[in-house]
Amino acid sequence: MEGKITKIISNLYTVSSDNKTYECRARGKIRYEKITPLVGDIVTFDNKENYILKINTRKNYLDRPMIANVDSALIITSVKKPDLSLNLLDKQLTLCIGNKIEPIIVFTKLDLLKKSELKKIKFLIKYYSNIGIKVTTNRNLYKLKRLIKNKTLVLTGQTGAGKSSLLNKLDKKLNLATNEISEALGRGKHTTRHVELFKYKTSFIADTPGFSSLDITNLTIEQIKSSFIEFNNIVCPYKDCSHTREKECKVKENVNNKKILKSRYENYCELVRSYENSHIFSKK
């Protein structure tokens, strides 16, 4: 049978398959192959003897939390309390896209905005969806449920952005787990904590926030560049234009005539700079 590992406690693996769970151990062969099974792994297992026989090739995996085959990340972004940070949002988008994880932006706390402020958010929603990113709000649960169908997801977002509240709206059982964990999360503790996937209808949701550290150093400069998807179709005079120092850059032109959001461009430049700073010593 085929299933998905949803929980690991020492060498006992909980495998979910067809709405049932099986407590399995791993065959010696798997241990010899030196692949450590991860939460999120798709496995072939013997459902009589409760043994994992084979781990399927992973599409991706995250380090913190350790989780394999993440399809999407819900980027929970509050527009107030804490204030909207487009810098953080664009970083999270780059991390997702660079790791082959589909980002889904979920704006929260729109009810705290004045009419004029709301207009700006509506503009942002339009901008991000026009460039091809999925965007919704925590008021549109119908759309959210449609977006998470059949996927393995992590949630990410600042403390207080509304992650637990959102899970609670989906399913009370999910919330319990998340709250417990966020309270138990002292600084630095989350690296050792095991992640667990909760089944929500046809989806699996990680109980630990993803991308707990915003580490872009494992991305290449090409990945950073191509994660700004609205730049990709723009043809600059220089084929390998970095869109930073070059004078006749078409991306910059698009920023000046407001086709590209200024904050997107600034956040791109900042990511390129921090990439260069972190790689400066390894350059020949």
Residues that bind Mg ion (CB under 5 A): 163-164, 182
Joined tokens for residue 248: 């006749």
User: How far apart, in whole angstroms, are the C-alpha atoms of residue 207 and residue 174?
Assistant: 8
Q: Is 112 in the site for ligand GDP (CB under 6 A)?
A: yes
Alpha helices in 131-220 (DSSP H): 141-148, 163-170, 172-184
CB of residue 181 to ligand GDP, shortest distance in Å:
10
User: How far apart, in whole angstroms, are the C-alpha atoms of residue 198 and residue 21?
Assistant: 12
Choices 23-31, 74-82, 239-247, 264-272; region in contact with Zn ion by CB under 5 A: 239-247
Question: Which one, 2 or 111, has the nearer CB to ligand GDP?
Answer: 111
Q: Is 243 in the site for Zn ion (CB under 5 A)?
A: yes
Q: Which residue is nearest to Mg ion (CB)?
A: 164
Report the partner that residue 236 touches, choosing among ligand GDP, Mg ion, Zn ion, none (CB closer than 5 to 8 A by kind).
Zn ion
Q: Is 255 in the site for Zn ion (CB under 5 A)?
A: no
Q: Name the one residue in this structure whose structure tokens are 């979920």.
A: 106
Q: Is 159 in the site for ligand GDP (CB under 6 A)?
A: yes
Q: How far is CA 221 from CA 40, 192, 246, 275, in A?
A: 28, 30, 16, 7
Choices 85-93, 157-165, 184-192, 219-227; region in contact with ligand GDP by CB under 6 A: 157-165
- Please select the residue that binds Zn ion; options are 251, 255, 260, 271, rule is CB under 5 A: 251
Joined tokens for residue 76: 């929970």
φ and ψ at residue 47, rounded to 5 degrees? -85, 0
Binding mask 160-179 for ligand GDP (x = CB under 6 A): xxxxxx--------------
Report the partner that residue 251 touches, choosing among ligand GDP, Mg ion, Zn ion, none (CB closer than 5 to 8 A by kind).
Zn ion
Counting residues that bind Zn ion (by CB under 5 A) gives 5
Contact yes or no for 76/161 (Cβ under 8 A): yes
CA angle 76, 126, 245 (to 5 degrees): 90
Q: Is 236 in the site for Zn ion (CB under 5 A)?
A: yes
DSSP class of 193: S
User: How far apart, in whole angstroms, are the C-alpha atoms of residue 195 and residue 237?
Assistant: 47
Positions touching ligand GDP (CB under 6 A) are 108-109, 111-112, 138, 157, 159-165
